[in-house]
Amino acid sequence: DGGITQSPKYLFRKEGQNVTLSCEQNLNHDAMYWYRQDPGQGLRLIYYSQIVNDFQKGDIAEGYSVSREKKESFPLTVTSAQKNPTAFYLCASSTSGTVMYYGYTFGSGTRLTVV
Amino acid sequence: SQQGEEDPQALSIQEGENATMNCSYKTSINNLQWYRQNSGRGLVHLILIRSNEREKHSGRLRVTLDTSKKSSSLLITASRAADTASYFCATDPTSGSRLTFGEGTQLTVNP
């Protein structure tokens, strides 16, 4: 079955540590996205990539980094510079182009907690 | 910044009743989409309505779009306990290349 896989489901980070969240898709989608969701709130865009080897900052990119070396993969690193990283992280993908015919496909999320 | 704003923030109804959620937005859009999120899970795409469409149906879902008022509504008919979830609208702005999500409506359907 086609879809997006995020791992791990739960992740614990110590103060000062960098951690990497994995996102893999087999939908042959060009575009991929990372969102952060805090309790009871909507989604805020961290980074997005519309093509391999290219990515753009979203609304809250500070303290995060990404790479897009393969079409299928878009890992997110939460660096020690991110002062409040505890949140639910969601990865999504979509077809690219000027006209959107379908919505985004989301992974099941990674819950990151600072301990 | 959040383009879409859902109203109400929370809605509690009995099974079998209809649920209506509203979304307002601020800029010109190509389309508007609705998503559902069950607790602790990812979002699931429900329906997409284009800026030149006024109404769209999918099963028990009915979505309307009024571009002059920059608003949309999602109606779930004959609700079920399994419809309990958060519902988000997302706008695809003509000026940008990615969706912007609202803060969601938490729907509780009581059996």
Q: Is the pLDDT of residue B1 over 60?
A: no
Q: For residue A73, how far is the Cα from the chain centroid? A: 10
DSSP state, A81?
Answer: T
CA dihedral for A31, A36, A42, A45, sign (positive or negative) = negative
β-pairing, A110-114 vs A10-13, is parallel
The predicted pLDDT at position A39 comes to 87
pLDDT at residue A60 in the model: 95
Cα(first)–Cα(last) distance of chain B, in Å?
36
Q: How confident is the model at residue B3 (pLDDT cuts 50, 70, 90)?
A: low
Residue pLDDT, tens place only, A56-84: 999 999 999 999 999 999 999 999 989 89
- Given a cut of 70, whether residue B14 has pLDDT beyond it is yes
Window 20-59 of A: residues touching B by CB (8 A cutoff) are 33, 35, 40-43, 45, 48, 50, 58-59
Of all residues in chain B, the one with the smallest CA distance to A45 is B100
With cut-offs at 50, 70 and 90, classify the pLDDT of residue B2. Answer: very low
List, for residues A8-57, the tens digit of each pLDDT value.
999 998 888 999 999 999 999 999 999 999 988 889 999 999 999 999 99
Query: Would you say residue B93 has pLDDT above 80?
Result: yes
Q: Which residues of A touch B5 (CB under 8 A)?
A: none
Token pair in block for residue B97: 């290349």
> CA-nearest residue of chain B to A98?
B97
Q: What's phi and psi for B81, nearest 5 deg?
A: -55, -35
Of B27, B26, B22, B25, residue with least CA distance to B11: B22
Instruction: Render pLDDT for B36-83 as a digit per residue (tens, 0 to 9).
Output: 999 999 999 999 999 999 999 999 999 999 999 999 999 999 999 999
Which chain A residue has the Cα nearest residue B101? A43
Cβ distance B98 to A48 less than 8 Å, yes or no, reads yes
For position A115, what pLDDT does the model report? 86
Candidates B99, B100, B106, B107, partner chain A, best to mutate (most A CBs within 10 A): B99
* Helix, strand and coil percent figures for chain A, each rounded to 5: 0, 50, 50
